[in-house]
Structure 1
Amino acid sequence: MKASVWIAVFCLALSAFAAPPPKPKLVHWMDYTEALEKAKNSKKLIFVDLYADWCVPCRIMDANTYSDPTVASLLNTRFISTKLDVDSQDTIVCDGKRKTVQRCYFDVWNLTVLPAFVLIAPKGLSIMTIKDSFTAEEMKYLLYQILEKEKEWISK
């Protein structure tokens, strides 16, 4: 009897230290090339999340910012959302130039830090780059600010 009590206590103690289950991915991230194509027809801005597997703030944003229901809803309904790994050697089109993701990051978008974001008009030209890590509340504010300029930027 004592052994079963100790086993139960041990199991409870272990469960207290278990990692919480991962939050579901709420944002529907599209392939970058598909996002460019879809933007031409839908007249929506493209929100590009630039990340790297080694970027800790990027992983924190994946776990906390993008799992926020309001942030996810905004990115899913008002933008075409895509992610690009800056360490990738895949070739994409950025501002009309065919380059690797890494060269777009450095040469075209003039970025050097992560996390970073690029806002792209439906015609495929970048409108702005943003460099920072955001909480869910900060991201909501940023997205609402972008949406205030949406009509002006859609025509670019």
Structure 2
Amino acid sequence: MKNVLIAIVVLGIIAFLYYRNNPKVDFKEDTVDGIHFQKGNWQQALDLAKKENKVVFLDIYATWCGPCKQLKKYTFADKSAGDFFNTNFVNMALDGEQEEGAVLAQKFGIEAYPTLMFVTPEGELITKSPGFRTASDLINLGQQILDTRN
């Protein structure tokens, strides 16, 4: 009986830690002050980037991915990241395991989630960066992209 009780407590602690580190995140919902991601398809994002003479910032994620959830909840929700990316880029986020996202993940050779990419309005890859980034790291990466294009 004592072993059963200990097992239940241990499982409860594991479940608590898992859900604390993997928050429930709605990938389709925009943040209030952070980065706003375009609705629509990839071609529409490229067309908008051409029209506005901007680079596309593309987040390829998976719904089960812990670091993807952390990016969405913290980095993409950051006001300074939102101000910078909403001004300088056309932002798009796609599930790398669904429909158009899966096609792009294969095209760009995505090997891990999340992968953050910068793409020209013509659809050419500028750079890709797998893994989690803080808001300041992401802004620095975006600034490097802008600096190389000017």
TM-score range, shorter chain: 0.7 to 0.9
Matched, 1:88 2:98: yes
CA distance in 2, matches of 1:57, 1:132: 7
What is aligned with 1:35?
45
CA distance in 2, matches of 1:29, 1:103: 19
Give aligned-pair identity as a percent: 26
Greater C-alpha Rg: 1
Unaligned regions of 5+ residues in structure 1, if any? 1-18, 91-100, 152-156
Unaligned regions of 5+ residues in structure 2, if any? 1-19, 26-30
- Does the 8 Å CA contact 2:75/2:134 hold for their aligned counterparts? yes
**Structure with a larger share of its residues in strand:** 1
Please state how far the C-alpha of 1:33 moved relative to its aligned partner.
Answer: 2.7
Over 2 Å off, 4+ runs? 22-26
- CA deviations on 1:44-85 (whole Å, 9 max, x unpaired) are 000001111101101101111011111111110100000010
- Does the 8 Å CA contact 2:33/2:77 hold for their aligned counterparts? yes
What is aligned with 2:145?
146
What is aligned with 1:137?
136
CA distance in 2, matches of 1:129, 1:141: 14
CA distance in 2, matches of 1:25, 1:34: 23
CA distance in 1, matches of 2:136, 2:128: 19
- CA deviations on 1:14-37 (whole Å, 9 max, x unpaired) are xxxxx9xx9636222113332111
> CA RMSD, aligned part only?
2.0
CA distance in 2, matches of 1:26, 1:41: 23
